[in-house]
Amino acid sequence: MAMCILNTLAFRGARLSHANRSSFRGHAVKRAYHGTPGGHPKFKLSSAVSDVSSSAKLTAQHVEHPAYELLQQDLIVEYGANAALYKHKKSGAQVLSVIAPDENKVFGAVFRTPPEDSTGIPHILEHSVLCGSRKFPVKEPFVDLMKGSLNTFLNAFTYPDRTCYPVASMNKKDFYNLIQVYLDAVFHPRAINDEQVLQQEGWHYELEDISKPLTYKGVVYNEMKGVYSSPESLMGRAAQNALFPENTYSVDSGGDPLVIPSLTFSQFQEFHAKYYHPSNSRLYFYGDDDPMKRLELLDEYLSEFDEIPVTSQIANQPRNLTPKKLSLPFPIGPDQPPKHLTTINWLLHDTPLSNLEQLSLVVLDHLLLGTSASILRKRLTESGLGESVSGGGLSDELVQSTFSVGMKGVEKEDVPKIEALILSTLEETAEKGFELEAIQASLNSIEFQLREFNTGSFPRGLSLMLGMMNHWIYDREPFDGVRFENEVKQLKQQISDGTPVFQDLLRRLFVDNTHRVTIDMTPDSTLEAKMEAEEATRLAELKAGMSPEQLEVVMETQKRLREAQEREDSPEARATLPKLTKEDLDRNTREIPSTQMPANAGGATMVITPVQSNGILYTDVGFDYSGIAVEDLPLLSLLGRLLTETGTEKMDEVTLSRHIGAQTGGVNVFFHSDLKQGNGVVSNPHDIIALMIVRGKATMDKSKELYDIMEDILLHSKIGNQKRAIEILKEMKARREGAVIGSGHSFGATRLAAKHSLLGYMNEVMGGVTAVKGSAALLAQAENDWPAFQKRLEALRDTIVKRGPVKEMAGGARMVVALSGEERVLERVRADAEKFVGSIPSTELCDNKEGTTLSNLRKNEKVNDLLVEKQNEGFVIPSQVNYVVKGGPLYTPGEPVKGSTTVVSRYLSTGYLWDTVRVMGGAYGGFGRFGVYSGRMSFLSYRDPNLMKTLNNYDGAAAALSAAVMNGKSGNPDSPGLDAAAILQAIIGTVGDLDSPLSPDQKGFTAFCRFLNGETPEDRQKMRNEILDSTPEDFAAFAEKLEKLKDTGTVVVFGSESAITAANSELSEDKKLKVQQALGSK
Q: Catalytic residue, from 201, 452, 731, 737: name it.
A: 201
List all residues 6 or more positions away from 538 whose beta carbon is below 8 Å from its beta carbon: none
- Report the C-alpha gap between 938 and 882 in whole angstroms: 16
What is the pairing mode between strands 324-331 and 516-524? parallel
User: Is 427 tagged catalytic?
Assistant: no
Give the residues across from 922 on adjacent strands.
none
> Among 578, 593, 680, which Cα is nearest to 174's?
578
Q: Is the CB of residue 150 less than 8 Å from the CB of residue 171?
A: yes
- Report the C-alpha gap between 697 and 1004 in whole angstroms: 12
How far is Cα of residue 128 from the mean position of the Cα atoms in its chain?
Answer: 23
- Report the C-alpha gap between 454 and 52 in whole angstroms: 14
Q: Is the CB of residue 33 less than 8 Å from the CB of residue 668?
A: yes
User: Is 126 tagged catalytic?
Assistant: yes
- Report the C-alpha gap between 809 and 628 in whole angstroms: 15
> Among 332, 275, 293, which Cα is nearest to 112's?
275
- Report the C-alpha gap between 184 and 165 in whole angstroms: 12
Alpha helices (runs of H) in 114-230, residue ranges in sequence order: 121-128, 141-147, 172-187, 195-201, 219-227
Amino acid identity of residue 512, one-letter, is: D
> Among 622, 747, 724, which Cα is nearest to 1054's?
747
- Report the C-alpha gap between 673 and 675 in whole angstroms: 7
Q: Is the CB of residue 769 less than 8 Å from the CB of residue 875?
A: yes
- Report the C-alpha gap between 745 and 538 in whole angstroms: 30
Alpha helices (runs of H) in 453-586, residue ranges in sequence order: 460-472, 485-496, 501-505, 527-544, 548-566, 571-575
- Report the C-alpha gap between 319 and 1019 in whole angstroms: 62
What are the strands, taking DSSP E only, across 832-980? 873-876, 883-889, 925-931, 936-942
Residue 724's CB is within 10 A of a number of other CB atoms, namely: 20
Q: Is the CB of residue 488 less than 8 Å from the CB of residue 84?
A: no
| Residue 891 DSSP class | S
3-state secondary structure (DSSP) of residue 408: strand
Give the residues across from 60 on adjacent strands.
none
Q: Count of alpha carbons within 13 Å of 1013, Cβ hemisphere only? A: 21
> Among 57, 32, 72, 53, which Cα is nearest to 484's?
53
- Report the C-alpha gap between 167 and 1036 in whole angstroms: 33
| Residue 853 DSSP class | B
- SS3 for 1020-1062 is HHHHHHHHHCCCHHHHHHHHHHHHCHHHHCEEEEEECHHHHHH
Give the residues across from 99 on adjacent strands.
82, 287
- Report the C-alpha gap between 1066 and 1069 in whole angstroms: 9
3-state secondary structure (DSSP) of residue 925: strand
Tell the burial category of 274 from Cβ atoms under 10 Å away from its Cβ (0-12, 13-18, 19+): middle
Q: Is the CB of residue 750 less than 8 Å from the CB of residue 764?
A: yes
Helices 1057-1066 and 948-955 pack at an angle, to 10 degrees, of 50
Residue 587's CB is within 10 A of a number of other CB atoms, namely: 11
How far is Cα of residue 942 from the mean position of the Cα atoms in its chain?
Answer: 14
Catalogue the active-site residues: 126, 201
